[in-house]
Structure 1
Amino acid sequence: MFKYTKYTLFHMLTIPFGIGVTLGGDWLYAGLVFAVGFVVIGDLLMGDDTSEPKYEAPWLLNLQLYSSLLLIVVMNFLMVWSVSDADVLGYGALVQQFTGFDALAARDTNTWPQYAAAILGCGLLTSVVGTIVGHELTHRTWDPMAMFIGRWLLAFSWDTGFSIEHVYGHHIYVGSTDDPATAPRGRNVYYHILASTWKGNISAWNLEKKRLQKKRLPVFSHHNLYIRGLLMSLALEVAAFAMAGWIGVAVFTATALIAKAFLEIVNFMEHYGMVRNVKTPVQPYHSWNTNKRISSWATFNLTRHSHHHAEGDVPFQKLRPYQDAPMMVNGYLTTIFLTLIPPLWNAIMVPKVLDWDRRFASAEELELAMQANKRSGIKAFMEQDYSDLIRQKKEKSNRTAQAA
């Protein structure tokens, strides 16, 4: 049974946040501190999960995915309730009735540094509960229920366009200069958040426009999934305004943008520095992988990214660990923190990318890598010359072809 229940870890990560917002004061730090501490320390201490169990009741896994919509509604409700002047839906009164604790009085003592921690925690958890699950569900393009729930999950980060661009753009162009989500060598994560967000939304709009034009449907209409997605997020903003006025809108927007930033940081570290000719098939080595146990359980195996890109339609429970794929530094949250310090990131990742060139890249990709190295602005990249290695790989490829 544990093979099913281990994925409820993402549910449990939201509990300290909910308790902390209700208790107020320094408890507002609880959601962020617990989530970060548990995942980072857990990854460092508990090693890898390379198991591949068989699941006879996939509906139990789907139930966990679908329940995330309720979780993200409750989380964001509590976050906005905490800054409201009103006791929305009588939540504070309900807490006092059942526990005797005066949540409304505690709320009145909250400070903005405490709120800042709670907002950051809510943004992080929204990216886990909303974006990661939304990613999994919107890959199931054949399932209307999965698409409905997945797009609403993404609406909490103003990112329903992700369901368009990621599936029909990123998975086709990954590793190439045509992919907004693939971070080229030398780029820092802060620029990537902005560039990938802007270019990703443009790509989503263009993809949806082409789809509608192909079907001879008007672009500016209810048929447009990109526009409908924006309206979904706008509806959530209206709900936040109804609960807490403009401060509610500001808090909801902040958590949404933080969640979106976390997504782009993950994009940054999943494909950093990799190159690929867009006309060639995507291979497992075109993604940075990790099998850290806690990260895998908390993200529905998003960590097994190499297999995900090799076979994008495979549900999370069937993703394989691909232990021979290029590996990240550590688990997801640990790697996220490393990206935030560009000099440290470069010190760690430049050698790993150069090793990727030598171990995994084809002769054609080495030529692309040399071009990417020149554009990087990083000396360790720019001084590389792969001429001999390119020749060796071409000769090996020719011998293999002749033997076949």
Structure 2
Amino acid sequence: MTLFHYLKYFLFHAIGLLALTMLMAGGVWVTVGLIAVLAIYMVGDAVCGDDTATPKLQHTGILTVQLWMALPLLSAIVLAFVWSVSPGDALGLGALVQQFTGHDAIAMRDAAHWGHHVSGVVLTGLMIGMIGTIPAHELTHRTWDPVSMLVGRWLLAFSFDTVFAIEHVYGHHRYVSTTEDPATAPRGRNVYFHVLASTIKGNISAWKIEQKRLKRAGHGVLTPFNAVIRGHLMSVLLVGAAAWLGGAQAAAWFVACALWGKALLEIVNYMEHYGMVRDPATPVQPRHSWNTNKRISSWTMFNLTRHSHHHAQGEVPYQDLKPFPDAPMMIGGYLTTIAVAMVPPLWHKLMTPKVLAWDRDHASAAERELARQANRDSHIPAMVTAG
């Protein structure tokens, strides 16, 4: 049984391999792949229930390697997508597929409807968010491990978001659920506005944090020591590689995938912390983040779902995070909640009762006062009435 708890996290890699296979198959298979991934998460979370097990796993090296494996996997997925929108047979990948499988991938790709390219962008951006950002989130918390930090930053480069390794660890975790945190969406905010606001404010926050670090270290801001500048150059290098493989058109398609992957991160930030308030004098506790224990999301996202424990103790590795079933719960699993968040009227209809219940059941006396002000500012009628 213990072996199973190591193997279950390989479901993450199986989803990535499915996406990779469908992108290389081309044409309608790309759309089939997108539908399959969405179904695995949404239907799987709906029927498979919650995972509340927290076994003690001794072989932590295996668990770390599982995270590192995300980088070659994501690189292969993005390469397959770039090939799928390139005019030629970049690196001879199509010929290689035909040689080993007999499948004429080039013909399928070239005959594809434009809609399948859109499916490819959605699927690849989803993989950048999942195969890239999720393990990077875990790895960049390991500030004592240079290999994990390097792998994590390269994974983030695919979504043009290496600043996440700075702002998330040193900013977001300090200010979460307060007005100082760019990633915490105030009550009533639209998710699409939040994507823009959190991105801009997060980059500004990361720049300020890095400025202070460089000053303490005795380095100038506009130097190679600046991790913000180095990180953005990593992303530029990836765009250049896409252009080298498939020309300007392929590079533009890749940029679309990267921006969608970045947007997904901010949508996730939105749903993990929407409407939360915290007295800045109070330490971060499990009640200050939305949680979910859905089994498929947990197994394929390295327990990112157990967000309440993660914010209470950010240094705890993913395999040791506890489910906290009494923490405030999201609408469903991650992709289901993402889908709901992208429909603002539905989101506010479902989340307003949850937020008001949080005020009643989880908030401290000081936080109830903050909540009353947040409700008045929300412009959501039910919240304004609640006061």
TM-score scaled by length of structure 2: 0.98
Among 32, 35, 58, the residue aligned to 2:34: 32
Q: Does 1:234 align with 2:231?
A: no
Aligned counterparts, 1:305-344, within 5 A: 305-344=307-346
Match of 2:174 in 1: 172
- AA of the residue aligned to 1:4: Y
SS of residue matched to 1:383: helix
**Is the contact made by 2:97 and 2:103 (CA closer than 8 Å) also made in structure 1?**
yes
Q: Could you list the per-position Cα deviations for residues 146-167 of structure 1 after superposition, in whole angstroms to 9, with x for gaps in the alignment? A: 0000000000000000000000
How far is the alpha carbon of 1:213 from its aligned partner?
A: 1.2
Indicate the larger mover: 139-148 or 90-99. 90-99
Number of matched pairs: 385
How far is the alpha carbon of 1:227 from its aligned partner?
A: 0.4
Match of 1:251 in 2: 253
Match of 1:210 in 2: 212
Counterpart-to-counterpart distance in 1, 2:330 and 2:145: 32
Indicate the larger mover: 220-229 or 87-96. 87-96
How far is the alpha carbon of 1:271 from its aligned partner?
A: 0.7
Moved runs in structure 1, 4+ residues, more than 3 A? none
Match of 2:20 in 1: 18
Match of 1:278 in 2: 280
Counterpart-to-counterpart distance in 1, 2:315 and 2:17: 31
**Is the contact made by 1:180 and 1:199 (CA closer than 8 Å) also made in structure 2?**
yes
Counterpart-to-counterpart distance in 1, 2:105 and 2:28: 13
Counterpart-to-counterpart distance in 1, 2:247 and 2:38: 30
Counterpart-to-counterpart distance in 2, 1:201 and 1:25: 37
How far is the alpha carbon of 1:10 from its aligned partner?
A: 1.3
Q: Does 1:129 align with 2:131?
A: yes
Match of 2:291 in 1: 289
**Is the contact made by 1:16 and 1:30 (CA closer than 8 Å) also made in structure 2?**
no
Counterpart-to-counterpart distance in 1, 2:269 and 2:225: 29
How far is the alpha carbon of 1:90 from its aligned partner?
A: 1.4
Gaps of 5+ in 1: 386-404
Counterpart-to-counterpart distance in 2, 1:384 and 1:56: 49
Q: Does 1:373 align with 2:379?
A: no
Q: Could you list the per-position Cα deviations for residues 301-333 of structure 1 after superposition, in whole angstroms to 9, with x for gaps in the alignment? A: 000000000000110000000111111111111
Same amino acid, percent of matched pairs? 56
SS of residue matched to 1:13: helix
- AA of the residue aligned to 2:305: T
Match of 1:224 in 2: 226
How far is the alpha carbon of 1:111 from its aligned partner?
A: 2.1
Counterpart-to-counterpart distance in 2, 1:31 and 1:261: 21
State the Cα RMSD in Å: 0.9
Gaps of 5+ in 2: none
Among 49, 54, 62, the residue aligned to 1:60: 62
**Is the contact made by 2:17 and 2:73 (CA closer than 8 Å) also made in structure 1?**
no
Indicate the larger mover: 277-286 or 165-174. 277-286
How far is the alpha carbon of 1:45 from its aligned partner?
A: 0.3
Counterpart-to-counterpart distance in 1, 2:112 and 2:37: 21
Counterpart-to-counterpart distance in 2, 1:279 and 1:219: 32
**Is the contact made by 1:159 and 1:260 (CA closer than 8 Å) also made in structure 2?**
yes
Counterpart-to-counterpart distance in 1, 2:276 and 2:25: 46
Match of 1:5 in 2: 7
**Is the contact made by 1:24 and 1:109 (CA closer than 8 Å) also made in structure 2?**
no
Q: Does 1:101 align with 2:103?
A: yes
**Is the contact made by 2:126 and 2:260 (CA closer than 8 Å) also made in structure 1?**
yes
Q: Does 1:353 align with 2:346?
A: no
**Is the contact made by 1:172 and 1:278 (CA closer than 8 Å) also made in structure 2?**
no
How far is the alpha carbon of 1:102 from its aligned partner?
A: 2.0
Aligned counterparts, 1:151-162, within 5 A: 151-162=153-164
**Is the contact made by 1:155 and 1:230 (CA closer than 8 Å) also made in structure 2?**
yes
Counterpart-to-counterpart distance in 2, 1:332 and 1:94: 36
How far is the alpha carbon of 1:276 from its aligned partner?
A: 0.9
